[in-house]
Structure 1
């Protein structure tokens, strides 16, 4: 029960309610404050009334702490690890295993499954139409913003929808999805992300913009990607980002800067050989 207070607080904030709004006629504001700060364990009658006012069930409040949730988190983390290393067959095998267990009931989990199904459809089957269909299915799932990873999942889905539309030659649709993904990343919530896979956004969008000869915006996207990688101390997709940066510097004959970025690229390649 220790963490219930924090989850309750997140639901309250998501609904735009103050402690006074939520507690009125149920308990004192000070009691609610202690509950939210995990200083007091609420009785079941108080919890039931608070949930009713928030329009949620007690089950929704408790689901994050079930052993099943921890089990799923382990396998989703595995799939993200496989994504970083390009092991798409392993992702498919993990999806098959989870499908057999039939435990992906929550919307947030179903959304991530849609993303990975899209990845497999494209990188294993070479089918961008099927990949896009899975991705759009994931975007249609309504997930509570209170869930950790909500913004990450949506950014990944929007970015992949952009990539699939681009692969299908649907330039305007690709631009729209990439814009949405990039704008969501630039929102305040993206600052709290630690998911290195978001680097795919900068590589995919940057590559798309270069093909459209929109070099100024492409460089802005790539520069933000390079800055974010540094903040995360991440090397994922750094090689691709540096190559894109060099292409844009060469396009405007900034040879002095090219030399510096090529040195970074060589240093990165040496690190990979260690």
Structure 2
């Protein structure tokens, strides 16, 4: 459907579904707010757009981003440039990019402004300015859910950039020693993603791979944190959640790291047969990925740090 405004699209989809304005906004927002959105007087939040997408079974999220976020080719080009700098760890260059773009009109509101705060949080973290990194995350999350604040760290976060900010917030709080808060945040991410994936709506497909990867990296972080606290049974529980999720949803991202960490915990618990099984799975994953360097590194580490494993022959 080609329409000039978000409100026009919303109205057209609503009528296609033979729904009234009251039907469409029930238990989502007030009729007054809905009418203002449909008349293009108010800009909806990403969370509200997600709920309306559920109600109308249509990818309003992609159209919302096209209208309100990716307003120019320049915006997409800039975000691609930032991604390259982040992957390369070039945070000094990323800061220069932020200085250049943060006053551009398309980066002064909505999801694009969230990206600015995300970039700033990464730069602050790179300088070990963890409190500042936390504040940037909170500011970015507040854009998506105005209730979100330093005194209220749980909100209605659904966008990919919002989930990224939320995950990083947990990481930064963890580095500040606020372990309980980080675990609560990561747990909420896992629960929210499990619900989101279970819904299996077709319009999630554009972001579903990111969501799967976030689930696995979060379960890895939680398991690793519990390992460091010597809470080994909880650590194994989080690693197993990640492994089950990966198998169920056909996603191998971070899976090798999770299996390798599980092996270490099992070895610490002197469960050598189970540890050897995890080791063999880990080696198989390295072979599938074609990562021969990591495979050889893992072999050397087993000989030096996990000698009991070499005594066990899993396959004759």
The TM tier, using the shorter chain, reads 0.5 to 0.7
Q: 2:102 aligns with which of 94, 99, 103?
A: 99
Equivalent in the alignment of 1:222 = 239
User: How far off its partner does 1:248 sit?
Assistant: 2.5
Q: Does 1:211 align with 2:242?
A: no
Equivalent in the alignment of 2:192 = 184
User: How far off its partner does 1:136 sit?
Assistant: 1.2
Q: State how far apart, in whole Å, the 2-side matches of 1:68 and 1:126 are.
A: 34
Q: Alignment partner of 2:106: what SS?
A: coil
Q: Does 1:54 align with 2:35?
A: yes
TM-score of the two chains, using structure 2 as the length reference: 0.60
Q: Alignment partner of 1:181: what SS?
A: helix
Q: State how far apart, in whole Å, the 2-side matches of 1:10 and 1:179 are.
A: 38
User: How far off its partner does 1:135 sit?
Assistant: 0.9
TM-score of the two chains, using structure 1 as the length reference: 0.67
User: How far off its partner does 1:131 sit?
Assistant: 0.7
**Higher-RCO chain (CA-CA 8 Å, sequence separation at least 6):** 1
User: How far off its partner does 1:268 sit?
Assistant: 4.6
Q: State how far apart, in whole Å, the 2-side matches of 1:88 and 1:245 are.
A: 32
User: How far off its partner does 1:157 sit?
Assistant: 2.2
Equivalent in the alignment of 2:313 = none
Q: Alignment partner of 1:141: what SS?
A: helix
Q: State how far apart, in whole Å, the 2-side matches of 1:79 and 1:53 are.
A: 35
Equivalent in the alignment of 2:71 = 68
Q: Alignment partner of 1:187: what SS?
A: helix
Q: 1:142 aligns with which of 129, 144, 149?
A: 144
Q: State how far apart, in whole Å, the 1-side matches of 2:83 and 2:250 are.
A: 16
> Quick check: 221-230 or 200-209, which moved more?
221-230
Equivalent in the alignment of 1:168 = 176
- The 5 Å alignment of 1:110-125 reads 110-122=113-125, 124-125=126-127
Q: State how far apart, in whole Å, the 2-side matches of 1:52 and 1:128 are.
A: 38
Q: Does 1:194 align with 2:209?
A: yes
User: How far off its partner does 1:189 sit?
Assistant: 4.8
Per-residue CA deviations over 1:178-220 (Å, capped at 9, x if unaligned) read 2222222222258642116514322222222222333333323
In the alignment, structure 2 segments of 5+ residues that lack a partner are 25-30, 45-62, 147-156, 294-316
Equivalent in the alignment of 2:278 = 261
Aligned length: 239
Q: Alignment partner of 1:224: what SS?
A: helix
Q: State how far apart, in whole Å, the 1-side matches of 2:286 and 2:96 are.
A: 31
Q: State how far apart, in whole Å, the 2-side matches of 1:253 and 1:177 are.
A: 31
Q: State how far apart, in whole Å, the 1-side matches of 2:113 and 2:91 are.
A: 19
Q: State how far apart, in whole Å, the 1-side matches of 2:226 and 2:173 are.
A: 14
Per-residue CA deviations over 1:7-36 (Å, capped at 9, x if unaligned) read 527996xxxxx8432289xxxx9xxxxxxx
Q: State how far apart, in whole Å, the 1-side matches of 2:238 and 2:72 are.
A: 35
Q: State how far apart, in whole Å, the 2-side matches of 1:250 and 1:132 are.
A: 35
Q: Alignment partner of 2:209: what SS?
A: coil
Equivalent in the alignment of 2:129 = 127
Per-residue CA deviations over 1:129-152 (Å, capped at 9, x if unaligned) read 1111111112222359xxxx9343
Change in CA separation of 1:204 and 1:85 when aligned onto 2, cut-off 3 Å:
farther
Does the 8 Å CA contact 2:120/2:136 hold for their aligned counterparts?
Answer: yes
